[in-house]
Amino acid sequence: MISRTKRSAIPRIVFPRDFLWGSATAATQVDGGDDASDWFNYCKKPGRIKDNSSCISACDHWNHYEEDFRIMQKMKLNAYRLGADWSRFQKTPGKFDTKALDHFRGMLDSLRRKKIRPLLTLNHFTLPQWWAARGGWTRESNLEDFYKYIDFIVEGTGDLVDEYITINEPNVYCLLSYMMGIWPPGESGFGGYLDGMRAQRNMVIAHCHTYDRIREIHARKKFKSPRISIAQHIRIMDPLNSGSLLDVDRANAADFRFNRLFTDAVHEGKLIRPLGNGETIHDGNAWDFFGINYYSRNMISFNLFTPHLLFIKESTNEDGPVNQLGWEIYPEGLTRAVMSAYDRYRLPVRITENGIATSDDLHRSAYIEDHLRALHRAMELGVPVEGYYHWSFMDNFEWAEGYTAPFGLVDVNFNNQKRKPRDSMLLYSRIAKTGTL
């Protein structure tokens, strides 16, 4: 990280006038009150969540949204990435909750009135319990249920929202839920690996089909023409020892498996190996921009004892600064991630997540400045970047870490749900307001 004194010597940079300055959340992490999700069940068993907490309370954003959106408005943020949890709208098969839909419409309408542009995530890890019990993403025959949920949400809200993320981070989901066993359904080993691959294959099919479906609904209902993508978590994968052919080879494998497998498949409209045998499922281009979630870098080495992880071992650069979760803080990686994504897919980019878990808010401010500079560097080099959504608007339920990883621009007191914008939020607000840094 660059020290405060040296910062004043750095030249000012200017972002485009129409740049989207946003923040991001996910429904399960902030909304609270949803007892029909697989995550609600998962939290019940002690030991699974670091502080043995539950997502059932979270930030009660579902009821505090007006207050939260007012903070965004006051802070001059013009975009918000928010989520809809399927389990909230369909607690049991066959029955959709129109009251919940009305409430959600109220949220979107409130954003519209405040001129905050919503980017709606339709699936952010969480599943309805009944669908998870049927095998969730691992069964292609289950996808019809997902499409019905898509119809319900998009037909019900498409007059208020026209930008979508279909699925958040299929790569992280498959890794943590099926290969590392730390998220529901908690699988690992070789069986988990196979299920993870099945899930990822079906998510490619679901994304491509959902892309067409959303477009069809918007056209049929005469809603504004939509823009659709996925949010892909990209981690820089560097070899631990760049002189070791095995480490270099595994770093390339990690880069392909984690960063590119899903997006290559979507881009080509094919079930590329190892997701399938190259079967065509779409005419390609089933995305209108590239949503990149960027946080950190992994150092990769060959490891004989992790065959189910393709002999890949991840570690952290010991010389670099890290966040509270031990993730290396590596701003240059954002330039690298954006450049390589653009070289490969030639799509406009949005940073749909980027942030730091820290209890020291000065670190958050520095993180924001350093990453925005790194992003701007990619723009100077020719990448069309449409916007940046900081993760996260407020402290929230950080999955298996519970409430122990403060990622928020806004501090949340989880005892009384009081919000307090941090200094980093004031800094971000200044940047958003002036478009300069």
* Nearer to ligand FCB among residue 23 and residue 168 (C-beta): 168
> E-assigned strands of 258-316?
270-271, 279-280, 290-302, 312-315
What three-state secondary structure class fits 232?
strand
Question: CB 43 → ligand FCB: shortest distance, Å?
Answer: 15
Any contact of residue 169 with ligand FCB (CB under 6 A)? Answer: yes
* Nearer to ligand FCB among residue 27 and residue 160 (C-beta): 27
* Nearer to ligand FCB among residue 262 and residue 302 (C-beta): 262
Residue located via tokens 């881009």: 267
DSSP 8-state symbol, 137:
G
Which residues, 402 to 421, sit near ligand FCB by CB under 6 A? Answer: 407
H-only helix segments in 255-401:
261-268, 332-345, 361-380
Which candidate, 40, 163, 34, 57, places its Cα nearest to that of 103? 34
Residue located via tokens 């966040």: 323
Among 391, 397, 403, 428, binds ligand FCB (CB under 6 A): 391
Any contact of residue 230 with ligand FCB (CB under 6 A)? Answer: no
Any contact of residue 150 with ligand FCB (CB under 6 A)? Answer: no
Which candidate, 154, 157, 146, 289, places its Cα nearest to that of 227? 289
Any contact of residue 353 with ligand FCB (CB under 6 A)? Answer: yes
Any contact of residue 233 with ligand FCB (CB under 6 A)? Answer: yes
Any contact of residue 294 with ligand FCB (CB under 6 A)? Answer: no
Any contact of residue 398 with ligand FCB (CB under 6 A)? Answer: yes
Any contact of residue 395 with ligand FCB (CB under 6 A)? Answer: no
Any contact of residue 364 with ligand FCB (CB under 6 A)? Answer: no
Question: CB 389 → ligand FCB: shortest distance, Å?
Answer: 11
Residue located via tokens 């020719």: 382
Full DSSP string of 154-173: HHHHTTT--EEEEEE-HHHH
Any contact of residue 23 with ligand FCB (CB under 6 A)? Answer: no
Stretch that binds ligand FCB, among 166-174, 194-202, 238-246, 428-436 (CB under 6 A): 166-174
Full DSSP string of 1-30: ---HHHHTTSPP-B--TT-EEEEE--HHHH
Tell me the number of residues near ligand FCB by CB under 6 A: 12
Residue 404: partners with Cβ closer than 8 Å, 6 or more residues away: 50, 51, 398
Any contact of residue 328 with ligand FCB (CB under 6 A)? Answer: no
Stretch that binds ligand FCB, among 154-162, 168-176, 222-230, 427-435 (CB under 6 A): 168-176
Q: How many CB atoms lie within 10 A of CB 406?
A: 21
Residue 74: partners with Cβ closer than 8 Å, 6 or more residues away: 429
Residue located via tokens 């498996």: 257
Among 19, 20, 21, 26, binds ligand FCB (CB under 6 A): 26
Question: CB 21 → ligand FCB: shortest distance, Å?
Answer: 19
Any contact of residue 205 with ligand FCB (CB under 6 A)? Answer: no
Length of the chain: 437
Question: CB 17 → ligand FCB: shortest distance, Å?
Answer: 29
Any contact of residue 64 with ligand FCB (CB under 6 A)? Answer: no
Question: CB 399 → ligand FCB: shortest distance, Å?
Answer: 6
Are 299 and 239 contacting, i.e. CB atoms less than 8 angstroms apart?
yes
Type of residue numbered 225: S
Stretch that binds ligand FCB, among 57-65, 110-118, 165-173, 360-368 (CB under 6 A): 165-173
Any contact of residue 394 with ligand FCB (CB under 6 A)? Answer: no
Any contact of residue 354 with ligand FCB (CB under 6 A)? Answer: no
Among 87, 177, 293, 301, binds ligand FCB (CB under 6 A): 293
Full DSSP string of 41-96: HHHTSTTSSTT---TTTTT-HHHHHHHHHHHHHHTT--EEEEE--HHHH-SBTTB-
* Nearer to ligand FCB among residue 239 and residue 406 (C-beta): 406
Stretch that binds ligand FCB, among 43-51, 167-175, 308-316, 342-350 (CB under 6 A): 167-175
Are 289 and 268 contacting, i.e. CB atoms less than 8 angstroms apart?
no
How far is residue 247 from each of residues 157, 275, 333, 379, measured CA to CA in Å?
48, 24, 19, 31
Q: Give me the residues paired with residue 21 across strands.
A: 388
Task: Summarize as ranges the residues that interact with ligand FCB (CB under 6 A).
Answer: 26, 29, 168-169, 172, 233, 293, 353, 391, 398-399, 407
